[in-house]
Structures are given as structure tokens and as C-alpha cells.
Amino acid sequence: MPEQLRIVGLEEHVVLPVLLDAWAKAGVPRIPQLGYGDEPFARRLRDVGDRRLADMDDQGVDVAVLSLASPGVQNLTAADAVSVARAANDALAEAVRAHPRRFQALAAIPTPSPEAAAAELERAVTRLGFRGAMLYGRTGDKPADAPEFDDLYATAERLRVPLHFHPQTPVRAVQEAYYSGLPHGVGPMLATAGLGWYYDLGVQYLRMIFSGVFDRHPGLQVIAGHWGEVVLFYLDHIGILSHAAKLERPLADYFRQNFWVAGSGTVSERYLRWTAEVVGTDRMLYSTDYPYTFGTRPGGFPFLDTSGGVARSFLEQAPFTQEEKTAIGSGNWETLTGHIAAVTDVAP
């Protein structure tokens, strides 16, 4: 009988008091989806203890790699982003120390202050033992390929740690042009978790490639959730731009050499198989997007609920060899970040 898979979830969201306070100051809506209030969803988002551990057991997840919910600190002023990122990372490190066999963490990075961003990544990795960082595409109106982020990318490349990108809400002009005027409640959802998030971030990935980020930093590794944020499904078409952009490699090669892809709790076998065909199972990781896909079956919709053991059964029943399933569940993550486990100085 095959050994039970070890599953590490890489996109497992948290909000912390320091972040809630900073968001409130910045005028962020105080809604349960961002951790405000007393609803079960909001409490799950804030919990880094018994409730989360019980839900991980329910899902069948062995290790959760904790990171701040979108947009992290990237919607704050430069000064606030630096102080909140540092405090949040210290709090995440404390949560990991309390449950070192069940939790790891991705750092919050203060990209509104580019000169501090690389320094905080260095501190989080070398002092706190974090496995990488979570970023959120744009910083204000600055795209991810803006030149001021080159030091951050160079630092990630040197430290050999991945940068996991998560979507955030499209800019207001895009929301108004594409998602307004729809039936009540549909537009905002379509602009975010329905579709808009993924197009917004997919464009950021392409901008990074076409503007030469990966040519300048060929060792930079990026984790893409949501089965590649739409882009994987159009690589054969978008590749026509490679010549005009004067890319050093075919477009698809960037996704096979600089990207790792996870499903973010979208339990669709079609997307799973397509991702494996495009990038290979040796570039696939696992995530559940907790708590956004925990107990969420509106109208019985089957593809966005990882509770009740679905996170585990989805991978166990995947049309892959046991070796490939093991790699996706945890092996590829250890290959990518296992060297960080040797960090022993975890003082804040």
C-alpha cells in the first residue's frame, strides 16, 4: 500500500490585528472576507491556532504555509507598509514557532518602499526562516515589472527563495469599464474572485516576462496560483509576441523554468491535467486558498470547496503516478525551499 501523501498548502491566508488596524486606517471596507467581524469566515481568517489546525485536519492538509490575505501591505503608505510588514512577519514567525510541524510562512513585503522591500525579504528568510514571500501584483499603480523592484527580485534570486504572487482587485478604471452595470452583486464579484483577479495578475506575469525581469534574473522563481492565472491557457497564442518583445527564450520556457503553478483550491481535474501538460508535474505545487474555499458550495457548486477531506482526495485521485502526486503534494516544495529549513536563528 502506498505511503500516505504529505500535503503542504502554500496559499493559506491569515489576517493579523496589526494588519486589520492598518487597513482600517487606509479605508479598506470592514467586511468578513477581509477578517472583520464575528462571522465564522472572519474568525477562521484571523485564527492561527486550534481552529485552523482542526480545519487543516478536516481538509487533509499536513502543513499550511501562512501568508497575509490580499493585498497584504501593498495598499498602504510607504512608512506604514514597512512597519506593518515587519510586525506581521514577527507575528507569523511566532505562529510558526508555536506549531513548527504544521506551519511555515511566506513573508509580507513592503513594496510601497522599494528600498525596504529587499531588506525585509532578507530578514524574513535569514532571521525568521521564512520560505519566501507573498506579493500581490501591482503596488498602487506600479506594475510588478517596475524597475524599482529589481533589487527585490535580485535578493530573492540570491537567497534562492520563491515569490508567490496573489491577485488583487483591478484598478478602478478597469472595474468601471468591464464590471459595472451588471445585476446587483455580480459586478464586484466578477471583478475579483469570479474573474478579474486572475486576468489582472496574469497580465502582471506577462509584463514581467516581456520587460525582461527574468532575463535580468534568470534564477528568479515565481509561484502562480489559480492554475496559472489564466495565462497558461493562452501560451500558444500569446507566444507570437516573443519576437516583437525580443525575448531570450520562447515564452513557454519562462513558465517551465521560472514559474511553479498551484491550483489555489480550485478542484478541477481539467485544470489539473492542463497544467501538467503545459509545465509538467515537476513544476506543480499545492494550495487550498483557505479559508476562501472551506465550506463554500454556493448552490452546490463543486469546484471551490476543499473541506471534508476534498483537499486530500483531489490529489490522491489525480491521474498521475504516486511519485508525481508525492512531488506535487510536498516534494517539489522541498526541492524549491528545503535549504531554508537549515535556518536555525529565528530570533525576531
| Sheet bearing 222-224, strands edge to edge | 107-108, 133-135, 163-165, 222-224, 259-261
Task: State which amino acid sits at residue 166.
Answer: H
Please state whether the peptide bond connecting residue 32 to the residue before it is cis, i.e. omega within 30 degrees of 0. Answer: no
C-alpha cell at 104: 511555515
Residue 28 CA to residue 19 CA, distance in Å, equals: 11
Please state whether the peptide bond connecting residue 71 to the residue before it is cis, i.e. omega within 30 degrees of 0. Answer: yes
Q: Which residues pair with 135 in a beta bridge?
A: 165
Q: Which residues pair with 66 in a beta bridge?
A: 12, 105
Number of residues in the chain: 348
Q: Which residues are catalytic?
A: 289
Give how far Cα 2 sits from Cα of 8, 235, 286, 315, Å.
18, 36, 19, 14
306 with 293: CB under 8 angstroms? yes
Of 66, 117, 125, give the one whose Cα is nearest residue 288: 66
| Residue 284 DSSP label | B
**Angle (CA) 45 91 145, round 5°:** 80
Go through 172-206 and write b for each residue having 16 or more CB atoms within 10 A of its CB, e for each that does not. eeebeebbeeeeeeebbebbbbeebbbbbbbbbbb
Of 177, 180, 16, 8, give the one whose Cα is nearest residue 94: 16
Residue 342 CA to residue 126 CA, distance in Å, equals: 10
Residue 55 CA to residue 43 CA, distance in Å, equals: 12
